[in-house]
Amino acid sequence: MTTDRPNRNAVLILGPEEIKGLINMEEAVAAIAQGYKEADEFPIGNAPRRRVHSPDGVRVSNFPGGIPGLGVIGSLTRGEMVSHEGSNQSYPYREHPVYLLWNSETAKLDGMMMGEIFDDRTGFTSIMAFRTGATTGVGVDALARKDAKVFGLFGSGGQAVNKILAIDAVRDIEKVKVYSRNPENRVAFCDKMAPLIEKEVVPVETPEEVIKDSDVVISATDSNVPVFDGSLLEPGQHVVTVVGSNSALVEGGWLKSGRRENDDETVRRADVIVVNHLESVTMEKQAGLYDPMQQGIITEDDINSLGSVLAGAHPGRTSDEQITYHFNNNGTAAADMALAKIVFDRAKEQGRGTEMDIPVPGTQ
């Protein structure tokens, strides 16, 4: 397939069907851990997520950055229609994400990928749920107690599916307790996930049951408002939330206040607070931590990056009694490019995709 013509470059184009079945959750967790570690060691290699909105509710998100250790730099861009129904956010339409991959040593454009990356055990669940789930797994591995075996989960959608795959990749699960607003969805979710991971996955009737006696509490919802009471948290627990939307939704009039799954008490009680990307908390006014900062509950100095923990610059959990909190606040190219590079290389090795023969810049 590769051309040897002078003054020409071969750029590999991969579509949604051509990137399927090339990575699993265990590999994703390891790759994303490497990405965040390198992002901490070379911070100018990644930039904050940027979002723009149309008056009709279309949002385009861009995630630029790279991972020198993998030889890739590039971006992920995705578009979606955003809607709000009561206390939840929904997406009437979400387009395939688009990845652009450049060689980080030569600046040559290696390829473009369009489509969702996911684990074949579950198939497609929702846009970016695989990456978000894998990042939760990285955080659990770094911050939860080593003997964590009972997990409490809020949510029963695509995000929740990938959270279970991720924690199964990093801890020996004994039981997962699941609560979501719809009892039928809750039961169906547990019936699907229990045989998939061959562990006990059970529905519970109240949010309180999710938290009680759990080693890790994970929220994987589309809620705009807190889903649990932080005063119920127990010593030694690790807590994860994922909703980290940008302030433009408020400024554009779509929301009255910033979205958040956590309450102030969760932040107040956390001994260790970790986020994927520090700058985004203040730049996007992400309510989960930005609002507590404005109230004086915490300061910016109380927040650490996931990469700093992985790189050893911050100790993370130092006691089995500490409550640790991972605000999985937004994706970064450190994660997206890690996954994309693995998938791209494997697709190329297998002869997938279509090569576009283009002139070397300046020779056309």
Query: Per mean pLDDT, which of 1-5, 83-87, 245-249, 353-357 is the most reliable?
Result: 353-357
- Worst-scoring range by mean pLDDT, 91-95, 134-138, 273-277? 91-95
Domain boundaries, the chain: 8-120+333-359, 129-327
Q: Are residues 277 and 305 in contact, defined by beta-carbon separation less than 8 angstroms?
A: yes
Does 3.65.10.10 match the CATH number of domain 129-327? Answer: no
How many other C-beta atoms lie within 10 A of the C-beta of residue 200?
13
Dihedrals φ, ψ of 341, to 5°?
-65, -40
Please give the structure tokens belonging to residue 5.
């013509």
Residues in the chain: 364
Give the C-alpha separation, 130 to 158, whole Å.
9
User: Residue 330 has what pLDDT?
Assistant: 87
Could you tell me which residue, 85 or 10, shows the higher pLDDT?
A: 10
Q: Would strands 200-203 and 88-94 be described as parallel, antiparallel, or unpaired?
A: unpaired
Task: Indicate the pLDDT class of residue 299, thresholds 50, 70 and 90.
Answer: very high
Pick among 3.40.630.40, 3.40.190.10, 3.30.1780.10, 3.30.70.270: CATH of 8-120+333-359: 3.30.1780.10
pLDDT of amino acid 4: 53
9: region left, alpha or beta (phi > 0 left; psi from -120 to 50 alpha): beta
CA distance 129 to 193: 16
Would you place residue 79 in the very low, low, confident or very high pLDDT band (cuts 50, 70, 90)?
A: very high
Q: Is the pLDDT of residue 181 over 70?
A: yes
* Enclosing H/E stretch for 192: helix 183-197
Per-residue DSSP letter, 96: P
Give the integer Cα–Cα distance in Å for 52 and 62: 9
Give the whole-angstrom CA distance, residue 199 versus residue 176.
8
> For helices 333-349 and 25-41, what crossing angle results, to 10°?
130
Classified as helix, coil or strand, 353 is coil
**Predicted local distance difference test score (pLDDT) of residue 3:** 46
Confidence grade of residue 109 (pLDDT, cut at 50, 70, 90): very high
CA dihedral sign, ordered 231, 205, 261, 64: positive
Question: How many Cβ atoms sit within 10 Å of the Cβ of residue 322?
Answer: 18
Structure tokens, 208: 């309180």
Closest to 331 (Cα-Cα) out of 343, 321, 340, 323: 340
The per-residue pLDDT for 6 is 67
Q: Is the pLDDT of residue 274 over 60?
A: yes
Give the tokens for residue 297.
Answer: 């509950």
Number of other residues whose CB lies within 10 A of the CB of residue 22? 21
Q: Has residue 225 got a pLDDT over 60?
A: yes
pTM score: 0.93
Q: How far apart are CA 58 and CA 84, in angstroms?
A: 13
Determine the average pLDDT of the residues in 208-216.
Answer: 99
The average confidence (pLDDT) of the chain is 94
Query: What is the per-residue pLDDT across 36-78, written as a single tens digit (0 to 9) for each?
Result: 999 999 999 999 999 999 999 999 999 999 999 999 999 999 9
| Residue 268 one-letter amino acid | R
Mean pLDDT of 199-206: 99
Better-scored residue on pLDDT, 291 or 247: 291
pLDDT band for 222, please (50, 70, 90 cuts).
Answer: confident
pLDDT tens string 317-339: 999 999 999 999 988 999 999 99
